[in-house]
Amino acid sequence: MASHLMWFRADLRVHDNLALAAACRSDDTEVLALFIAPLKQWQQHDMAPRQAAFLQSQLNALQQALAERGIPLLVKQVDDFTASIEVLREVCETHNVTSLFYNYQYEFNERQRDVAVEQALTDVTCQGFDDSVMLAPGSVMTGNHDMYKVFTPFKNAFLRRLGEDLPECVNPPKVRPAGALTGKLAPIELNYPQQSFDTTWFAADENSAQVRLRHFCQYDVASYDTQRDFPAVDGTSRLSASLALGALSPRQCLHALLKAHPDALEGKTGAVWLSELIWREFYRHLITYHPNLCKHRPFIDWTDNVQWNNDSAALTAWQQGKTGYPIVDAAMRQLNQTGWMHNRLRMIVASFLVKDLLIDWRQGERYFMSQLIDGDLAANNGGWQWAASTGTDAAPYFRIFNPTTQGERFDKQGVFIRQWLPELTDVPTTAIHTPWIWADKAQRTIDYPRPIVDHKLARNQTLAAYEAARKKN
């Protein structure tokens, strides 16, 4: 009997899954599901152990949800994408697969893999879908049919498209005619280093992600624009990890938002969070049209001339949260201990690494991926290139955050700082952003380093380095 094969990748859900819905369209065709874990490829791409644990949790929930609908999930573990192709060939032959369904991934290596799969499976019809975005790459272009290089006009065009025709969510597949699969399911265990994650902060499965989404849109999104920049406040959605692995779709986010706040498209309540979702789309569209972004290349060519500092001690201090700048250090310790960092803090620590320490942004990009539970190449690369002034629509290279004033502005009372830097518990609030000055005046000893760099001097050195690089072009 002929069968359809649904190949899951970064789309670990049964609701609003375009490829899965297409695979299940016919009631009289057997449907199988497959997930392939390319373990060495994940290591090469610096997948964080917490993200691996999160993925394993999502996979087990997906296996149960599929079984309830009569769809078995096969899980194979291989070395890399090349080995994945052979697994696909074997599964298709063994189960007489006539059609393969999958959702597109836009990263360069993944796109190359998919081309190779289509070439290898000569007797199988391959069908791909633009599932991880609200609007497909290529559907929001300039008047000259080019990809936008600046976010605001992209966003405006994107909103116009949404206003004309909202992308719909598709229903989950019904129970297959053969009925739900009975019997105890063997737990899925991935042979990849893992670190536990906090299930009170991160939705451990698709259903809890939907609950979190609805609650956020109904009760919290209205205050998002005023609270999202303050790390001591729980003012963000905490949905990025679910979006990164596809346990939640951006279309679900859009519809949940519009159900709670129908005027969000017109710039009313919810518009700021919607703008963040469009930033996510912007970066995904960009890597599709500029694949060099997936190859550690800057978008602005001349910035590759910057002479970076090769200072391993400074890099280690930044990674460990021991720079002597409290807001930077608290943020890095939050990342190291939870696998997540508040978005405002991501900008602050990225600016510090690149423009205070003059360390190559790619070092930071890679370290983030090795730690983040919500690691996503397009968004992570986009954020780092923005902070480093090397990317499209990036901050001008002469815009350099002052880490002390950033701390004073976004954690004025030092609540967040004290949460992650207990060694500063006794430092008065008036001195929490410059504890070394207080310690000297009070003749106190604190177990906290002095600043590893003088911001004013570092700023001048960075400006000179960027100006020299630009002149070389």
Residues with catalytic function: 276, 279, 308, 343, 361, 384
Is 111 a known ligand-binding residue? no
Please tell me whether residue 448 adopts helix, strand or coil conformation.
coil
Which residue is listed with tokens 């229903």? 171
224 labelled as ligand-binding?
Answer: yes
Q: DSSP characters for 103-163?
A: E---SHHHHHHHHHHHHH-TTSEEEEE--SSSS-TTSS--TTS---SSHHHHHHHHHHHHH
Q: At what angle do helices 326-338 and 403-410 cross, to 10 degrees?
A: 70
Give the C-alpha separation, 60 to 73, whole Å: 10
165 marked ligand binding residue: no
**Residue 178, token pair as written in the block:** 């053969």
| C-alpha–C-alpha distance, residues 255 and 167, integer Å | 9
Matching residue, tokens 């890099």 = 315
239 assigned ligand-binding residue: yes
Please state the separation of Cα 26 from the chain's center in Å.
Answer: 34
Question: Which tokens go with 320?
Answer: 């460990």
Q: Is 416 annotated as a binding residue?
A: no
The answer to whether the annotation marks 277 as part of a ligand binding site is yes
129 is in an annotated binding site: no
The CA–CA distances, whole Å, from 400 to 255, 361, 389, 437 equal: 37, 14, 10, 23
Please give the span between the terminal C-alpha atoms of the chain, in angstroms, as a whole number: 62
Contacts of 324 (CB under 8 A, 6+ apart): 436, 448, 449, 450, 451, 452
Which residue shows structure tokens 């700048």? 325
160 labelled ligand-binding: no
302 marked as binding residue: no
436 is in an annotated binding site: no
Count CB neighbours of 460 within 10 A: 12
276 assigned binding-site residue: yes
Q: Is 242 annotated as a binding residue?
A: no
Question: 3-class SS at 428?
Answer: coil
Residue 236 assigned to a binding site: yes
Residue 186 CA to its chain's centroid (Å): 29
The residue assigned the tokens 């346990």 is 247
Question: What are the residues whose beta carbons fall under 8 Å from the beta carbon of 72, sequence distance 6 or more?
Answer: 32, 33, 66, 181
- The verdict on whether residue 281 carries a ligand-binding annotation is yes
- Give the orientation angle of helix 343-351 with respect to helix 361-371, to 10 degrees: 140
The residues, any chain, with a CB within 8 Å of residue 386's CB and separated by 6 or more, are: 347, 393, 394, 395
Give the rounded distance of the alpha carbon of 272 from its chain centre: 18
Written as one letter, the residue type at 467 is E
- The encoded tokens of residue 241 equal 């990890």
Beta strands in 13-124 (DSSP E): 30-38, 73-78, 97-103
SS3 310: coil
Numbered residues of the known binding site for FAD = 224, 236-240, 273, 276-283, 374-376
Binding site per annotation, positions: 224, 236-240, 273, 276-283, 374-376
